[in-house]
A and B are shown apart, each in its own frame.
Chain A
């Protein structure tokens, strides 16, 4: 693992190293110089290469596979088919539910989506495997596919009762309301599009398995591998030092992971398998396509009387994904009457998955556009509309907010943007051929809480090591955990080295839902505190300690030096003290779980998400909040939309490192710009196949598409959300960007585009 050089990273203020300081990413130089070695960049002796063969139909059966030509091609070691791959055991799901089938075959005989893995070729070199994979001949019995939500065969889908949220009499109150709007909002299939593809290296030594794989959840994925192969959890080691983008997609061991690990077992040699770019669009799910209708009834003053919301998302024929579409709808505004229900529709796709702010993101697109439509209908300013209907408590859970700085976000964002100067009428602002529009929207994301543990070691030279099986996918875990340990132990941040991404380190749950920072700063704070207590205890009690004769109650460590609080007696550096007492290291393991937690509960806590703590547990409802203000320019002839200004004010509670938080917020805003204007998985309806599964045709914003983005933190420490007062950061900022842009486009053009992305043909 690369040792990060803190001196190069440190750049800004005097209080960089404390929690809350603007320390630059400590892993930045290693990444920029190429020294950072990603998971499947490992060079292993005897490494072999696997390449997958995907189904070219979307539905049907594999009737025959002819692999003879591939088997005799140069360098080929094995061709795995559904019939020849070793049998795996079924694994429990991420909630810990037991497997539905006793066995698992990652290569499909029954094809339920185009691109599904049906064979794999393993060869000495990657090029040999690619060439041989092209020689595998497959015959199918094709059956009609349901290509997407608008397919006539798709039907209304399956009601998901757990998604139903209702109070009052929403239908009657809507019917009776003097002012009403009702509209349908659609979002397409979108993809995480991480720069680093999915892939892994698998190596067996006896019944011990090592997997080098980018992972948002080492312990959860290690459990899956252990169950597939029937080996003890401790026999699986997952290594993931860096992740080149996950955005929700890298939390689970997937079919291609199983193929690689099985091939390594069968061949007795390490196997590397990396999905090519098109396979990254079909081997795991992106964001499900969604449809929503939002009906809002209000009185003449703009006070909402009722919200009626219906949502649908696509899922797979053989897998269930629910994208919770009523999540923002049910909490953003105060309303006496509310109804939200949701169906899922099975289509022939890989099972959809988590993409940044799953649920909240499309949910906000519906409700935040609808509120804008209602404001327009009433002749109210969209900001005023939101203040009139401000929810003073959680309207669904009927609990107080832990903290909700949304009013402050509206005020700060509007002030910085100059919202008061907005001319209300659509199409009333222009610059030459450019129609200018100003739009806004709010966003929110729940505070997802869990537990974690960390090991903190004070070494003989006074330096500190932090170990955790949590990960850094660019958010800055290496950095904020170093800051937390440095502050807690009173040592300089450059004396702290953080080791992450190895499942043999102290346990951690999934990194997703913006929970890692709150959980892991808490765990490191606790472990470091225990290490400090042990250090001070040793200093006060060990006969060899120069402090022992002081008879003091406590000591303090500052700038790496130990002294009594009043300054009498000796002052030693930590290294000098360790030498004096003859200790090699002091080690403490701390976790955030109650002491009574059993070993079985601990295992479940880290390897499933069943033990996550509800955000409405106890007396409070806990969420991050944000308000986005956006300016767009729409060419009146061409229909092209460009975002020219974004001001966002965000409440993520206390920020552990504002510089990193701002980067995450901006990343979310940029992803939201792509979602609003560019991103869409386009399906060839004849074949049920994504035709733009590559980075030329699946469009993401370029630098030229991104304007200056101003972010303003309006958060205050939230003691109900985390040990150190932070709320979620990473998922929040994308929520509300697409509706803010759609609302700005309406203001610019007078046209309401309710289907994302807002491409030029929808405006000319």
Chain B
């Protein structure tokens, strides 16, 4: 049997100390860790249960910023009236993620640590080669079934899609992740695979996510998250877009715009090229559709996922145009 030790941390310092141990993994909602342990991907030697630490689940939202404790449940954040009001894309990303049962268990800190759904990554018995699991072993996905795989941020080492929704909204609005000693932009917290596919996050041994901070902005207040998927719920994105829009007083010229993509990249994917193409311009459907195409600069497909290159710009365009119409 694969034995592991279980340690319940009562405070954040204890959690940090334990997290520094080799082979240690944090347990919060458990929805990812237990799943990965069952399929043989996660084999922690120590499980540190942080779910009982007090004070890490607060949701504090003002017009200036939202501070969301790492242990806040996805469902609580999605339903928070101030989050809905001031950061609608964050709420929408959360309630379109997973299922009601999972959202009631999963925490937002754990959500940032969610790992890819690449079927090759998740099946070590049948597919020993995976650079994420065993650096240097190769990538089983390349040349295989790639319908769900990424087209942006891919490398020869890995084409696994980042599966989450919340982080897509977070990178659009310059959110930061609080690791105690340091704070990082969520955009920088996630790492594209490059030659080191096993490194998915900029997090060091002994660091624990304690909070997520999202700066308030006019663009965040008028924002949306559109998720396109094969079925209507409980499914990962074929492509998704978090978009925020601030217009000049004329109601059509773009003062500020934020665009990020999910379901198509190896990490939550901010697309500044689209933002830059639209800033200072008056919105029109033609312009928006054309600008949205810029999101696919550098896209590389592996056959079955080619449709994502056509789909993703349409999702961005829909989101921008819907926000523009509600001016």
State which residues 45-62 of A face B: CB under 8 Å. 56
Question: A725 to B167, alpha carbons, bound, how many Å?
Answer: 60
Question: A621 to B22, alpha carbons, bound, how many Å?
Answer: 72
Tell me if B115 counts as interface (CB < 8 A to partner A).
no
A268 to chain B, nearest CB (A): 25
Tell me if B8 counts as interface (CB < 8 A to partner A).
no
CB <8 Å contact, A433 and B230 = no
Give the residues in chain B near A131, CB-CB below 8 Å.
1-2
Question: A433 to B238, alpha carbons, bound, how many Å?
Answer: 18
Give the residues in chain A near B232, CB-CB below 8 Å.
642, 702, 704-705
CB <8 Å contact, B230 and A759 = yes
Tell me if B4 counts as interface (CB < 8 A to partner A).
no
Per-residue contact bits, chain B 1-36, to A (CB 8 Å; 1 contact, 0 not): 110000000000000000000000000000000000
CB <8 Å contact, B315 and A638 = yes
CB <8 Å contact, A638 and B228 = yes
Give the residues in chain A near B143, CB-CB below 8 Å.
686
Tell me if A761 counts as interface (CB < 8 A to partner B).
yes
Q: A692 touches which one: B119, B229, B238, B318 (CB < 8 A)?
A: B119
CB <8 Å contact, B2 and A684 = no
Give the residues in chain A near B120, CB-CB below 8 Å.
691
Stretch from B77-85, B200-208, B306-314 forming part of the interface with A: B306-314
Per-residue contact bits, chain B 299-327, to A (CB 8 Å; 1 contact, 0 not): 00000001100110011011000000000
Question: A433 to B311, alpha carbons, bound, how many Å?
Answer: 15
Tell me if B125 counts as interface (CB < 8 A to partner A).
yes
Tell me if B136 counts as interface (CB < 8 A to partner A).
no
* Given A127-B1, A134-B40, A686:B119 Cβ within 8 A: no
Tell me if B101 counts as interface (CB < 8 A to partner A).
no
Per-residue contact bits, chain A 174-217, to B (CB 8 Å; 1 contact, 0 not): 00000000000000000000000000000000000000000000
State which residues 677-727 of A face B: CB under 8 Å. 677-678, 682-687, 689, 691-692, 696-697, 699, 701-705
Tell me if B182 counts as interface (CB < 8 A to partner A).
no
CB <8 Å contact, B235 and A760 = no
Give the residues in chain A near B230, CB-CB below 8 Å.
640, 677-678, 699, 759-760
**Which residue in chain B gives the minimum CB-CB distance to A759?**
B230
State which residues 638-659 of A face B: CB under 8 Å. 638-640, 642
CB <8 Å contact, A764 and B126 = no
Question: A761 to B143, alpha carbons, bound, how many Å?
Answer: 19
B304 to chain A, nearest CB (A): 8
Q: A433 touches which one: B234, B235, B318 (CB < 8 A)?
A: B318
Q: How many residues of B contact A (CB 8 A)?
A: 30
Q: A56 touches which one: B126, B231, B235, B315 (CB < 8 A)?
A: B126
CB <8 Å contact, A760 and B307 = yes
Q: A682 touches which one: B147, B234, B307 (CB < 8 A)?
A: B147
Tell me if A637 counts as interface (CB < 8 A to partner B).
yes
**Which residue in chain A gives the minimum CB-CB distance to B119?**
A691
CB <8 Å contact, B119 and A697 = yes
**Which residue in chain B gives the minimum CB-CB distance to A697?**
B119
Question: A131 to B3, alpha carbons, bound, how many Å?
Answer: 10
B309 to chain A, nearest CB (A): 10
* Given A134-B40, A697-B119, A684:B145 Cβ within 8 A: yes
Tell me if A664 counts as interface (CB < 8 A to partner B).
no
Give the residues in chain A near B311, CB-CB below 8 Å.
638-639, 760-761, 764
Give the residues in chain B near A127, CB-CB below 8 Å.
1
CB <8 Å contact, B144 and A684 = yes
State which residues 414-433 of A face B: CB under 8 Å. 433
Question: A686 to B145, alpha carbons, bound, how many Å?
Answer: 10
CB <8 Å contact, B231 and A760 = no
Give the residues in chain B near A684, CB-CB below 8 Å.
144-145
B128 to chain A, nearest CB (A): 9
Give the residues in chain B near A764, CB-CB below 8 Å.
307, 310-311, 314
* Given A697-B119, A705-B231, A128:B125 Cβ within 8 A: no
CB <8 Å contact, B231 and A702 = yes
Tell me if B233 counts as interface (CB < 8 A to partner A).
yes
Give the residues in chain B near A99, CB-CB below 8 Å.
none
Q: A702 touches which one: B1, B40, B144, B234 (CB < 8 A)?
A: B234
**Which residue in chain A gives the minimum CB-CB distance to B143?**
A686
Question: A691 to B120, alpha carbons, bound, how many Å?
Answer: 8
Give the residues in chain B near A114, CB-CB below 8 Å.
126
State which residues 712-764 of A face B: CB under 8 Å. 759-761, 764
Q: A128 touches which one: B1, B119, B233 (CB < 8 A)?
A: B1
* Given A689-B126, A691-B119, A760:B228 Cβ within 8 A: yes
Question: A692 to B117, alpha carbons, bound, how many Å?
Answer: 11
Per-residue contact bits, chain A 665-679, to B (CB 8 Å; 1 contact, 0 not): 000000000000110
State which residues 118-169 of B face A: CB under 8 Å. 119-120, 123, 125-126, 143-145, 147
CB <8 Å contact, A682 and B145 = yes
* Given A134-B40, A691-B119, A699-B231, A637:B145 Cβ within 8 A: no
Q: A74 touches which one: B1, B40, B231, B315 (CB < 8 A)?
A: B1
CB <8 Å contact, B144 and A686 = yes
CB <8 Å contact, A699 and B125 = no
Give the residues in chain A near B126, CB-CB below 8 Å.
56, 114, 687, 689
CB <8 Å contact, B318 and A637 = yes
Give the residues in chain A near B1, CB-CB below 8 Å.
74, 127-128, 130-131
* Given A696-B117, A699-B230, A691:B318 Cβ within 8 A: no
Give the residues in chain A near B2, CB-CB below 8 Å.
131
Question: A584 to B2, alpha carbons, bound, how many Å?
Answer: 58
Instruction: List the 4 closest pairs (A to B, CB-CB), nearest first.
Output: A761-B307, A704-B232, A704-B233, A637-B314
Q: Can you list 30 A-B contacts with CB-CB less than 8 angstroms, sorted by A residue number?
A: A56-B126, A130-B1, A131-B1, A134-B40, A134-B125, A433-B318, A637-B315, A637-B318, A638-B318, A640-B228, A642-B232, A677-B231, A678-B231, A684-B145, A686-B144, A689-B126, A691-B123, A691-B144, A692-B145, A704-B231, A705-B231, A705-B232, A760-B230, A760-B238, A761-B147, A761-B307, A761-B311, A764-B307, A764-B310, A764-B311
- Identify the B interface with A (CB < 8 A): 1-2, 40, 117, 119-120, 123, 125-126, 143-145, 147, 228-235, 238, 306-307, 310-311, 314-315, 317-318
Besides A702-B234, A705-B233, 8 other CB < 8 A contacts?
Answer: A639-B311, A640-B229, A684-B145, A685-B144, A691-B120, A760-B230, A760-B238, A764-B311
- Identify the A interface with B (CB < 8 A): 56, 74, 114, 127-128, 130-131, 134, 278, 433, 635, 637-640, 642, 677-678, 682-687, 689, 691-692, 696-697, 699, 701-705, 759-761, 764
